[in-house]
Amino acid sequence: MPTLPAAWRLLLGLLLPARCVGCGDGGSYFCGACAASAPRLPFERCQVCAQPGPRDPCASCALRRPAFDRVIPAYAYDGAARNAVRRLKYANLRALAPLMAAPMADALAEDGWPPDLLLPVPMHPAQLRRRGFNQAALLAGEIAARTDVERADDAVARKLQGWAQARTASREERWAQVAYAFEPRDGASSSVADRRVAIVDDVLTTGATADAVARALKWAGVSEVAVLVFARRI
């Protein structure tokens, strides 16, 4: 399917009235009612990866502990929350970013884990050129504005592209593909060592990407890593 140039999409966005990604009502891209009723993760879940269920840690974290210490999700990846993730990323609906960041900032405050720094999952430069924006960076910018937590975007670099595997690869293949895709930048440890960093992303799927970013952060001396996501796949 041909994609509209970014300028045209921007113009269309200005001309067409905002419609909620959840209920279709006019006035907002993610209305208050849908933000309040979008599916959340159950209270009973793994305290490391947020996998729903009675086991803590879950079987997967017990077998192989991720490099991150906790996941802080605003929603489960379903319904209006799933629509929001898709529309932001694939329909270039950037006006969604502040509306998605608000419940993420709330989830962070409710969790009670205060980060020193925010790090949006970095995109590879080629990937960034193709999409035109990094949705994780948009969300991190909005969260930073709401929480006064500083960003540390330059702490980690993405050296491999690692895209297009989301739907096709098995869990093991995906872990292997992204395991070494990230590395701390030179000099990163002077700004991040012994600090608490929240990795910011739109969605957590297998956790492989977050694990790889967290590993790079821990190489740089970060003391604790949380993964703050708009939605976690269930």
Q: Does 208 help bind Zn ion (rule: CB under 5 A)?
A: no
Q: Give the nearest distance from C-beta 32 to Zn ion in angstroms.
A: 8
Of 71, 82, 73, give the one whose Cα is nearest residue 30: 82
Distance CA 47, CA 70 (A): 6
Tell me the closest approach of the beta carbon of residue 86 to Zn ion, in angstroms.
Answer: 15
Taking Cα atoms as reference points, which of 101, 197, 203 lies closest to residue 153?
A: 197
Q: Which residue from 9, 13, 19, 23 is in contact with Zn ion, where contact means CB under 5 A? A: 23
Considering only the stretches 58-66, 136-144, 153-161, 211-219, report the one whose residues sit in contact with Zn ion under the rule CB under 5 A: 58-66
Q: Is 227 in the site for Zn ion (CB under 5 A)?
A: no
Q: Using the rule CB under 5 A, give the single segment among 61-69, 102-110, 120-128, 142-150 that binds Zn ion.
A: 61-69
Q: Which CB, 99 or 105, lies closer to Zn ion?
A: 99
Cβ neighbours, 10 Å, residue 161: 16
DSSP assignment of 89-150 equals HHS--TTHHHHHHHHHHHHHHHHT---SEEEEPPPPHHHHHHHSS-HHHHHHHHHHHHH-PE
> Checking phi first, is residue 85 left (phi over 0); if not, alpha (psi -120 to 50) or beta?
alpha
**Could you say which residues in the range 36-55 bind Zn ion, by CB under 5 A?**
46, 48-49, 51
Under the criterion CB under 5 A, does residue 73 sit at the interface with Zn ion? no
Of residues 58 and 231, the one with the C-beta less far from Zn ion: 58
For the bound state, the minimum distance from the C-beta of residue 125 to Zn ion, rounded and expressed in Å, comes to 32
| Site for Zn ion, rule CB under 5 A | 20, 22-23, 31, 34, 46, 48-49, 51, 57-58, 61
